[in-house]
Amino acid sequence: MIHRAAVALIISFASPALAEDFLLELPNDCDLDSEDCYIQQYVDIDPGPGSSDFMCAGLSYDGHRGTDFALPTYAEIANNVPVIASAPGRVVGFRDGMPDIGQAADVEGRECGNGVVLDHEGGWQTQYCHLKEGSVKVARGQTVALGEVLGYVGQSGKADFPHVHLSVRKDGTPVDPFDPDGTVSCATPGDSTLWVDTPVYQPGGLLDAGFTDKIPEYSAVKAGTADAVALEPTSPAFVLFGLVFGPRDGDTLRMRIEGPDGFLLENDQTFDRNQAQAFRAVGQRRRSALWASGTYVGTLNMIRDGDIISTMSRQITLP
């Protein structure tokens, strides 16, 4: 049996002043303080060809105009995680029927995938993109309450990971809900917000980990199926893998496996470039002897500038 545990270093904000009367709740029904979901990318506040999130860090890309509330792997789409109205409003647009395959070549003009657009008072508008195929539960002209379910998180349209992309607009102009008045600087991040409770900023971290019998394919890691094969004493190899988001050039993923009979395997792997997501693995091939029966514990630490910013552990017992 595999058990999950995670701890993350997060950056909090000190009671930022509200810039507007219009306020938002989170657009999906999951816990950002757990392994259930996380924020992969923020609005790009860099007016030039580069990119920067509101913390002057790298969790964005050039021209990104929303906030991506993501699920760790594609497998979590099956859990039907609700996408909910961040504020009361009226449905002025929706789409459904696009498959959850992501980055399809034929989505030009429909990059949002399955989605919903809500009008709110005062010229505000919110848009919810990449919903699960067949999950949209509202119709044009319908009035929705705060927290009402609009559909489920998916990976439709132009999306290479499962998430709901939330765009916020005022009188047609994109607004960063973490910086609605546009006054954020690297010296003073988080001085205004549209959030009722501002989500803490996690600068990168571990999304998933597991044990398997070979170095997995990246597609299987992102799909959440890499550890589908049960390990046995006769397995050809013993491998621990980890999926991370937001690794920066110079970050280290420290991986350690401890097992019965003094079994110990440690490895540090350093990232050589900034990435949205990546995975690493460490393992050992079985020689003639069988793997010892008992409990094996895998521990992964993501390290940045000497500090642990995310920790995850996995445990498996061999018969």
Percent of the chain with pLDDT over 70: 90
Worst-scoring range by mean pLDDT, 16-20, 75-79, 146-150, 252-256?
A: 16-20
On the question of pLDDT at 62 being above 60, the answer is: yes
Could you give the C-alpha distances from 57 to 5, 25, 51, 234, in angstroms and in order? 27, 24, 9, 46
Across 57-61, average pLDDT: 90
Where residue 311 falls among pLDDT bands split at 50, 70, 90? very high
Cα separation of 148 and 168, whole Å?
18
Helix/strand/coil percentages in the chain, nearest 5: 5, 40, 55
Cα separation of 35 and 41, whole Å?
17
pLDDT tens for each residue of 130-149 = 999 999 999 999 999 999 99
Across 66-90, average pLDDT: 97
The confidence score (pLDDT) of residue 6 equals: 35
On the question of pLDDT at 295 being above 70, the answer is: yes
The DSSP-derived string for 139-189 is -TT-EE-TT-EEEEBB--SS-SS-EEEEEEEETTEE--TTSTTS---TTST
The confidence score (pLDDT) of residue 190 equals: 57
- Whole-number average pLDDT of the chain: 90
Cα separation of 244 and 261, whole Å?
30
On the question of pLDDT at 191 being above 90, the answer is: no
On the question of pLDDT at 259 being above 80, the answer is: yes
On the question of pLDDT at 18 being above 70, the answer is: no
Q: Interior CA angle at 35 toward 203 and 56, to 5°?
A: 15
Work out the number of other CB atoms within 10 angstroms of the CB of residue 228. 12
Cα separation of 175 and 97, whole Å?
28
The confidence score (pLDDT) of residue 129 equals: 98
The confidence score (pLDDT) of residue 101 equals: 84
Where residue 15 falls among pLDDT bands split at 50, 70, 90? very low
On the question of pLDDT at 13 being above 50, the answer is: no
* 83 vs 29, more confident: 83
pLDDT tens for each residue of 170-187 = 999 999 999 998 877 666
Which among 76, 61, 303 has a CA at the least distance from the CA of 206?
303
pLDDT tens for each residue of 217-243 = 999 999 999 998 899 999 999 999 999
Domains detected in the chain:
17-193 (2.70.70.10), 205-318 (2.60.40.10)
Cα separation of 106 and 98, whole Å?
11
pLDDT tens for each residue of 84-137 = 999 999 999 999 999 998 666 688 899 999 999 999 999 999 999 999 999 999
The confidence score (pLDDT) of residue 313 equals: 97
Across 150-156, average pLDDT: 98
The confidence score (pLDDT) of residue 227 equals: 94
The confidence score (pLDDT) of residue 188 equals: 63
On the question of pLDDT at 202 being above 90, the answer is: yes
On the question of pLDDT at 267 being above 90, the answer is: yes
